[in-house]
Amino acid sequence: DQQVKQNSPSLSVQEGRISILNCDYTNSMFDYFLWYKKYPAEGPTFLISISSIKDKNEDGRFTVFLNKSAKHLSLHIVPSQPGDSAVYFCAASAPPSGTYKYIFGTGTRLKVLA
């Protein structure tokens, strides 16, 4: 049972345009969501997170939107750069807080075309 889903396995975007990566979840107990970026043969690196008490969090070129009623979150990257090409994983966790246990989605491979 995949509690966190990323239905688009891949996405291609032109440099300078907006990249939108989507993530859906099924567990209404999830209260903290994160996006990680991963290059081949490397560990994931943290990008941005959002708590369920918010609907938007922004950090530079990265913005995460959370729609709790739809159990959907998205990551916007604007403007997209070739160096953003990687696999992006969304992750979610449920209380109790501080346990750090995350459920990861299957990832979306983003390719930014120069």
Q: Which is nearer to other proteins, 14 or 97 (CB)?
A: 97
- The CB-of-38 to other proteins minimum distance in angstroms stands at 8
Phi-psi region of 8 (alpha: psi -120 to 50; beta: other; left: phi over 0): beta
CB of 35 to other proteins, least distance (A): 12
Closest to other proteins by CB, 14 or 103: 103
Which of 78, 102 has the CB closer to other proteins? 102
Question: Distance between alpha carbon 70 and the CA centroid of its chain, in Å?
Answer: 16
CB of 88 to other proteins, least distance (A): 12
- Residue nearer to other proteins on the CB measure, 69 or 100: 100
What is the binding site for other proteins (CB under 8 A)?
9, 32, 34, 36, 41-46, 49, 89, 97-107
Long-range contacts of 37-44 (CB under 8 A, 24+ apart): 37/84, 37/86, 37/87, 37/88, 37/89, 38/86, 38/87, 38/88, 38/89, 38/107, 39/86, 39/87, 44/89
